[in-house]
Amino acid sequence: MAKLLVKLQRYFRRKPVRFFTLLALYLAAGSLVFLHSGFAGEPTVTGSQRGSGAGEGPGVPYLGVMQLSRGFKAAATMQEGGRRHGPWFKSTSKELAERGKAGDYGSTRSRALRGRSGREKEEDRARYIGCYVDNTRRRTLRGVSFFDYKKMTVFRCQDNCAERGYLYAGLEFGAECYCGHKVQASNASESECNMECKGERSNTCGGVNRLSIYRLELAQESARRYGSAIFRGCFRQPDNVSIALPVSQLMLNMSVDKCVDFCTEKEYPLSALAGTACRCGFPTTLFTLHEREDEQLCAQKCAGEEFESCGTSEYLLVYQTQVQDNRCMDRRFLPTHAKQLVALASFPGAGNTWARHLIELATGFYTGSYYFDGSLYNKGFKGERDHWRSGRTICIKTHESGQKEIESFDSAILLIRNPYKALMAEFNRKYGGHIGFAAHAHWKGKEWPEFVANYAPWWATHTLDWLRYGKKVLVVHFEDLKRDLFVQLQRMVGLLGIAACEDRLLCVEGQKDGNFKRSGLRKLEYDPYTPEMRKMISGYIKTVDKALKLRNLSGVPDDYYPR
């Protein structure tokens, strides 16, 4: 065999033309076989073989607005490697196999009709009702919403809305999902819903200010619940209650669920129980929800539910419904280019992305970044793609700390966080992503000690550099922002040159978590900081504290331990 190969090698060396001719024939034969297999049609695949990823890519956890049960977080996530189905889901494996077989007919109208024919096959779980007009200032569907500019699919949107008890799911701009209990807009032409889904090219996901809306056919009447509500607390009834909470109804058989359902149907984000009266409205300057009372003042037993409290005529028990307060959800680029560049500066892990979310809601303008993070862009931070000097964004995220970089900005919001928590947050981001967590192996291995040794000094020098070289610096402590969001956000918006609308800031308080705020640091079984680490970090805290006070600023908060 070896001798034969040597002879062939010598032969083709002497006559290379024959070699290339033979190679061309081989490639041509392969191409013919490939084309034949393409025309022969695709093999039949059963639903069980395709699995839950058909047409959607790998299962991705829902990163939209997290819902809270009364007092407890209940973030809905999907199982790893598969899709989580609610009780409404009734499709068969045959239907799943038929999904995505519609061809591309090459025109806007054909795409809309193609998507429609696919929808009709899925009527058991969701019925397509049409293309509708949407408005960024007054949404057609006013429940929760989430974006994914990379992996959005029709099924994923339907699944997330259905699991939260909504009756309608709408898709817009190929990547945005909106949920709601009512459709409050006029129909549009089907040809205007002409954008393919980012994660599923075989389906249509609305258009520019156009929603492809589905009515979710729930399998059980019990699933028509309006989901969980967020407990906001006990509050004294406002003086002008009929203006502060304009919609009300007498309920002799009162319960928390009945009042929450009533306000949800009326499309209000607040549900207030006042004994036998249920009131609905928005947080406003007349009813800010800032002055909580002792819950015992609201501890009057509900007539319709023995183990629940329903407030009194003087003290209201308030819940936040699933209706999204859209007064602060519209965002856009600056209409004219900014003349000054404002930095949103922080050490990594200090909550910069969360602060960006708050600023965007409070001002209505996109924030930019010194870097480019595709995952942030895909989740709705549209200013992420702009060059940081473009002048189209209200402020620029940066972690830089050198003199040259700092002096590039005309002013800055300097966000400072407890170094112990900032270091752990950045370590989690580095090894677990924006909202994930590092594995225990990373904490126990060499990665953590090396990380602390390199990053702890940077925590101090970052603040010191901005205080030294920054032209106009507003210091905001992460802990103060969490504790008193309204006041701190007013300060931040003031530096940005935007007139702070109080009702808009109150709206932000109800949407404050966003998509990139971790639900608390994962509790470790041990303290990751050694005595040597604590001694080093304590010295850095004292240095920063002293530098702040030398500039007549308040020092670091008391919970920066040890001091």
The full set of domain ranges for the chain reads: 126-216, 225-320, 342-560
Mean of pLDDT values over 108-129: 54
Low-confidence winner among 7-16, 275-284, 472-481 (lowest mean pLDDT): 7-16
Answer whether residue 520 shows pLDDT above 90: no
Rounded distance between C-alpha atoms, residue 376 and residue 150, angstroms = 11
Going by pLDDT thresholds of 50, 70 and 90, the confidence category of residue 226 is very low
Rounded distance between C-alpha atoms, residue 474 and residue 152, angstroms = 38
Mean of pLDDT values over 2-11: 60
Residue % of the chain over a pLDDT of 70: 74
Rounded distance between C-alpha atoms, residue 73 and residue 375, angstroms = 24
Answer whether residue 189 shows pLDDT above 80: yes
Q: What are phi and psi of 182, to 5 degrees?
A: -140, 150
The distance between the two most distant Cα atoms of the chain, rounded to a whole number of Å, is 103
Three-state SS string over 198-240 comes to CCEEEEECCECCEEEEEEECCCCHHHHCCCCCEEEEEEECCCC
Instruction: Pick 107 or 478 by higher pLDDT.
Output: 478
What pLDDT does residue 532 have? Answer: 94
| Topology, domain 342-560 | Rossmann fold (3.40.50)
Nearest one of 101, 117, 128, 111 to 47, comparing CA atoms: 101
Burial code (b: 16+ CB inside 10 Å, e: under 16) for 382-396 equals bbbebebebbbbbbb
Answer whether residue 220 shows pLDDT above 60: no
Tokens of 386: 């702009």
Instruction: Pick 423 or 119 by higher pLDDT.
Output: 423
Tokens of 442: 């990373």
What pLDDT does residue 47 have? Answer: 35
Sign of CA dihedral 524, 530, 531, 534: negative
Answer whether residue 254 shows pLDDT above 80: yes
Nearest one of 171, 288, 168 to 236, comparing CA atoms: 288
Q: At what angle do helices 531-550 and 447-469 cross, to 10 degrees?
A: 10
Rounded distance between C-alpha atoms, residue 507 and residue 503, angstroms = 6
Rounded distance between C-alpha atoms, residue 58 and residue 77, angstroms = 14
Going by pLDDT thresholds of 50, 70 and 90, the confidence category of residue 314 is very high
209: left (phi over 0), alpha (psi -120 to 50) or beta: left
Sign of CA dihedral 126, 131, 132, 134: positive
What pLDDT does residue 201 have? Answer: 87
Mean of pLDDT values over 313-331: 90
How many Cβ atoms sit within 10 Å of the Cβ of residue 258?
Answer: 19
What pLDDT does residue 437 have? Answer: 82
Q: What is the DSSP string of 490-555?
A: HHHHHHTT-PPPHHHHHHHHHT-S-SS--SSPPPPSS----HHHHHHHHHHHHHHHHHHHHTT---
Mean of pLDDT values over 354-362: 95
Going by pLDDT thresholds of 50, 70 and 90, the confidence category of residue 5 is low
Mean of pLDDT values over 320-332: 87
Average pLDDT, the chain: 79
Mean of pLDDT values over 362-369: 95
Residue pair 509/516 in contact by the 8 Å Cβ criterion:
no
Residue pair 111/105 in contact by the 8 Å Cβ criterion:
yes
**Environment class of 60 (CB within 10 Å of its CB; exposed 0-12, middle 13-18, buried 19+):** middle
What pLDDT does residue 18 have? Answer: 66
Low-confidence winner among 8-12, 128-132, 166-170 (lowest mean pLDDT): 8-12
Instruction: Pick 526 or 469 by higher pLDDT.
Output: 469
Mean of pLDDT values over 420-448: 86
Answer whether residue 455 shows pLDDT above 90: yes
Is pTM beyond 0.85? Reply is no
Going by pLDDT thresholds of 50, 70 and 90, the confidence category of residue 78 is very low
Instruction: Pick 414 or 81 by higher pLDDT.
Output: 414
What pLDDT does residue 30 have? Answer: 65
Answer whether residue 229 shows pLDDT above 60: yes
What pLDDT does residue 146 have? Answer: 84
Tokens of 382: 């549209």
Rounded distance between C-alpha atoms, residue 489 and residue 475, angstroms = 12
What pLDDT does residue 489 have? Answer: 95
Answer whether residue 271 shows pLDDT above 80: yes
Pairing of strands 342-346, 411-416: parallel
Low-confidence winner among 1-5, 267-271, 357-361 (lowest mean pLDDT): 1-5
Q: What is the DSSP letter of 266?
A: T
Q: How do residues 19-53 score in pLDDT, each as one tens digit? A: 667 777 777 776 655 544 444 343 333 333 333 33
What pLDDT does residue 375 have? Answer: 82
Answer whether residue 553 shows pLDDT above 70: yes
Tokens of 507: 């709206």
Answer whether residue 55 shows pLDDT above 60: no
DSSP bridge pairs for 453: none
Going by pLDDT thresholds of 50, 70 and 90, the confidence category of residue 360 is very high
Instruction: Pick 352 or 17 by higher pLDDT.
Output: 352
Tokens of 240: 């002008």
Instruction: Pick 299 or 514 by higher pLDDT.
Output: 299
Q: How do residues 493-511 score in pLDDT, each as one tens digit? A: 999 998 878 999 999 998 8
Nearest one of 168, 181, 154, 37 to 100, comparing CA atoms: 154
Answer whether residue 451 shows pLDDT above 60: yes
Residue % of the chain over a pLDDT of 90: 49
